[in-house]
Structure 1
Amino acid sequence: MTISPFDPSDIAARRGPRYRAIADALRDAVKMGTVAPGTKLPPLRDLAYALGVTVGTVSRAYALAASRGEVAGEVGRGTYVLGGGVHTRNGTGVGSAAFLTLPEATEAAMKAALAPPAGQTEIAGAAMAALLAEEPERNRPSPFNTYLAPGGEARHRQAAADWLAHDGFAPKAEELLVCSGTQQAILTAILTATEPGDLILTEELTYHAMVQQAALMGRRVAPVDIDEEGLVPEALERAAREQNPAALFVVPTLQNPTSAIMSEARRQQIAGIARAGDFAIIEDDIYGKLVSDRPLPIAHFAPDITFLATSLAKSVGCGLRVGFLKPPPALFERARAIQHGQGQTVPPLMADLATHLIETGDAAAVRDRITAEMEARHRMTARALHGQKMTAHPASLYVWIELPQSWRAHAFVEAARTRGVAIAAGEDFMVGRTDRASRHVRLAIGQPQTRDELQRGLDTIAALLSESHIGIAVPA
């Protein structure tokens, strides 16, 4: 079965992951004129069936096409080819984020791994007022009338060093770059450590934005097996030997989406394998500050080959958009030049605000409130979903649920959406696999603005879990 412009034999013959082959086939068809602007693309399920791939693979392909400005998705209407016409010039093709965003949930939004409200607005507001009150006495340019130096000023980087330090890990201010969030830090690391065409290994379930960043930069991504502790060293060693990677991307603390925490011993193993295989490590530690007794980062054991990326997004508030990157010393200046070249300098006022929050202890206070709130929300979740197969950690912003045999992830996500609850399908986190998470979903229990909203969402999910995908109650 062929659905124009997607020929299964043509797509199978293309190198690289299936989602990229599908997106490239569409791009080629548009360039050749065989698909005209305004053409409506097949629904995800129809194309997935025709090509023998998962719905998640087709969704990722459409997302990549959207990020290129080639298609646009409209809720309730479908996905349309933009080509080079007026839609592209008017900015309709705004990228994969717009394509993947679900309609606003009417009961509970539980899709994005956001920290819960914990007094951030009041604390940050008071801090901002204090900064503005000091403005007349400043002996440096106003944050409203200057750009931040590439990588941040010394005081910003010192605050970052203080924030990152724990146990025996004590980075120096001059080793750090201030970034516009963890995503920019990760992108900077990818561009610094790899070249177009290089392979990046990662957990078979991982942060989807990194996969998109790598693809957009012309890098390949391949999966490595994980277990209850995260990345499996033996699998990494085998993949390194067979595939010659340039880098490894890993989330060792509160792995996304499983919440796994890698032991210190395994972190040392991973560092040793990377050093022996001569590839870099990109360590995403964005959730690290939420865990009070977390192990030392991989960067502590292999500082010469590890890029440590993190931010205040999950432990204070995502609106700050302030993150930090610790590159290997030999690549520091290259990383700083690449970051500067991206043109995403951190707004000086945000850098000042983040520094103020760290220096006064307000950032730590917010973090403590967040962890206390998450512990309460995990108790609520355990009660509401009692008896379900779940993986979680008391500090994690999400829970990973294995669905009953009667459900598949995307059908469950769609059923939840129709009842006003937005959640993420396990397939959204898969790298190159078609079955690893087809019966899992992630609930971002930190995102609901109130516990009442969370409870409504949990009640809806609990009800769905007791049904089959055709709405028939499952016998107890």
Structure 2
Amino acid sequence: YALAASRGEVSGEVGRGTFIAGAEAHARGNRGVGSAAFVTLPEGTEIAMKAAFAPTVGQTDIMSRALAASMAEPRPAEEPFNVYLAPGGSPRHRAAAAQWLAHGDFAPGADDIVVCSGASQGILTAILATTAPGDIILAEELTYQAVTQQAALMGRRIVGVKIDDEGIVPDALARAAKEHAPAALFIVPNLQNPTSAVMSEERRKEIAEIARAHEIAIIEDDVYGALLTDRPPPIACFAPEISYFVTSLAKTLGAGLRIGFLVPPRQMLDRARAIQYGFGQTVPPLMAELAATLVEDGEARMLCGLMRAEVAERHRMTKEALSGYALRQNDASLYAWVELPDTWRAHHFVEAARAKGLAIAAGDDFMVGRTDRTSRHIRLAIGQPATRDQLSDGLAIMRELLETGPLSTPLVA
């Protein structure tokens, strides 16, 4: 039921039951995959804690000033606003990207980077560069929902691999590699979505070696990495010849800043740019200018610091409000992974929360194939509420439902 609902094939009405979506929805081209927007909120919802958005820390004012300052400067002849940018971005945009990405031993050059319209475009580019229709892509057994949708739309199949407290398990990865002969591995080693796991450097090296031994391309999603104060080196450091490192500014500065960065293997740079061009997805110049200005002026680092402090405070509030219940948290993460009591199932809990005006995501939304560990988990996006007061109200609803159980709702009739 949860899977069908996530595909837009059924809908539930509290007190009435679950209904098959009207045929007219499918006539408009819905075929299940991607038919329901992940962040679309039910009508009447007052508090949203479903999408992993960065919290509000004054981005609008800061970005407005940066954009005004950028527009006031004389435009270089090679960067006019009345033409498309070259695939991969201009030299200035790529130089700013290199400045932003550098940490520890990871320091890609400007010529190594493809600027994208968000990380999703970077991931899709990597999928198309490394796989063909019919190929298998391995991923954590719980993972970012959009990747499974992208893979299905492009005729690829995702196979889940066992995870633990650090993320993907090396032995399980090696077995899956032998069994499925995959073309690629999609992995989120920093603040894994949805569990917030952070992979140790030692395990990153193991993953790199397994992928190299089995000739598997690595698509490394690091959209949350900049939120970590003690950020491990990416897997791309240990296997650069097969790694596609992807990140963006949306999770660290603000969801509306749709700029991402892809660092493919050097021998695949031209292919990555050609894929971007072929899909007509060159980066909007205005957005790229804003991102470069924020990085060059130091505003991006400052905003990221504000974000870390705000997220840490929201985790403190969450831990206090839901004390006594099993939570998995990392002070840098935009979400918490909540284990429900035995009396609840995730999809029932989501419906009960929706009836009270709270939108949250069930663990089932992140599963690859079938996995029992999602049936009693909720991902709580603590960054999405616009204010701490909204967060507090949402947590109060969560606490009430956890304490009263499903028998106090009309869902079990």
TM-score normalized by the length of structure 2: 0.94
Q: Distance in 2 between matches of 1:305 and 1:378?
A: 36
Structure-2 change in CA distance of 1:429 and 1:95 (3 Å):
closer
Contact 2:118/2:250 (8 A) holds in 1: yes
Corresponding residue to 1:360 among 273, 288, 297 = 297
- Please state how far the C-alpha of 1:391 moved relative to its aligned partner: 0.4
Which residue is equivalent to 1:215?
A: 152
Corresponding residue to 2:254 among 287, 301, 317 = 317
Contact 2:33/2:149 (8 A) holds in 1: no
Contact 1:105/1:422 (8 A) holds in 2: no
Which residue is equivalent to 1:132?
A: 71
Structure-2 change in CA distance of 1:239 and 1:184 (3 Å):
same
Structure-2 change in CA distance of 1:119 and 1:326 (3 Å):
same
Residue 279 in structure 1 maps to residue 279 in structure 2: no
What is the aligned-residue identity percentage?
A: 59
- Please state how far the C-alpha of 1:81 moved relative to its aligned partner: 2.0
- Please state how far the C-alpha of 1:56 moved relative to its aligned partner: 2.6
Q: Distance in 1 between matches of 2:256 and 2:407?
A: 40
Structure-2 change in CA distance of 1:98 and 1:257 (3 Å):
closer
Contact 1:111/1:447 (8 A) holds in 2: yes
- Please state how far the C-alpha of 1:229 moved relative to its aligned partner: 0.6
Structure-2 change in CA distance of 1:312 and 1:119 (3 Å):
same
Which residue is equivalent to 1:81?
A: 23
Moved more, 433-442 or 226-235: 433-442
Deviation readout 1:288-346 (Å, 9 max, x if unpaired): 00001011000011100000010000111111110000011111111110111111111
Moved more, 148-157 or 429-438: 429-438
Structure-2 change in CA distance of 1:431 and 1:365 (3 Å):
same
Residue 302 in structure 1 maps to residue 267 in structure 2: no
Corresponding residue to 2:5 among 59, 70, 74 = 59
2:55 is aligned with what amino acid?
P
Secondary structure of 1:96's match? coil
Q: Distance in 2 between matches of 1:303 and 1:92?
A: 37
Which residue is equivalent to 2:181?
A: 244
Which residue is equivalent to 1:115?
A: 54
Q: Distance in 2 between matches of 1:237 and 1:443?
A: 32
- Please state how far the C-alpha of 1:72 moved relative to its aligned partner: 9.6
2:21 is aligned with what amino acid?
T
Contact 2:141/2:371 (8 A) holds in 1: no
Secondary structure of 2:95's match? helix
Which is higher, the Rg of structure 1 or of structure 2?
A: 1
Which residue is equivalent to 1:21?
A: none
- Please state how far the C-alpha of 1:105 moved relative to its aligned partner: 5.6
Which residue is equivalent to 1:41?
A: none
What CA RMSD, in Å, does the superposition of the two structures yield over aligned residues? 2.2
1:108 is aligned with what amino acid?
I
Q: Distance in 2 between matches of 1:456 and 1:249?
A: 36
Contact 2:33/2:152 (8 A) holds in 1: no
1:121 is aligned with what amino acid?
T
Structure-2 change in CA distance of 1:202 and 1:123 (3 Å):
same
Q: Distance in 2 between matches of 1:309 and 1:75?
A: 39
Contact 2:11/2:20 (8 A) holds in 1: yes
Q: Distance in 2 between matches of 1:375 and 1:324?
A: 26
2:336 is aligned with what amino acid?
V
1:293 is aligned with what amino acid?
D
1:429 is aligned with what amino acid?
F
- Please state how far the C-alpha of 1:75 moved relative to its aligned partner: 8.5
Moved more, 353-362 or 462-471: 462-471
Q: Distance in 1 between matches of 2:26 and 2:295?
A: 47
1:161 is aligned with what amino acid?
A
Q: Distance in 2 between matches of 1:183 and 1:336?
A: 15
Contact 1:75/1:103 (8 A) holds in 2: no
Structure-2 change in CA distance of 1:329 and 1:369 (3 Å):
same
Listed as ranges, the gaps of 5+ residues in structure 1 are: 1-54, 64-70
Corresponding residue to 2:345 among 379, 395, 408 = 408
Contact 1:229/1:261 (8 A) holds in 2: yes
Which residue is equivalent to 1:26?
A: none
- Please state how far the C-alpha of 1:98 moved relative to its aligned partner: 3.7
Deviation readout 1:342-376 (Å, 9 max, x if unpaired): 11111101101100000000011110001100011
Q: Distance in 2 between matches of 1:298 and 1:155?
A: 26
Which residue is equivalent to 1:386?
A: 323
Which residue is equivalent to 1:395?
A: 332
Which residue is equivalent to 1:255?
A: 192
Q: Distance in 2 between matches of 1:395 and 1:84?
A: 40
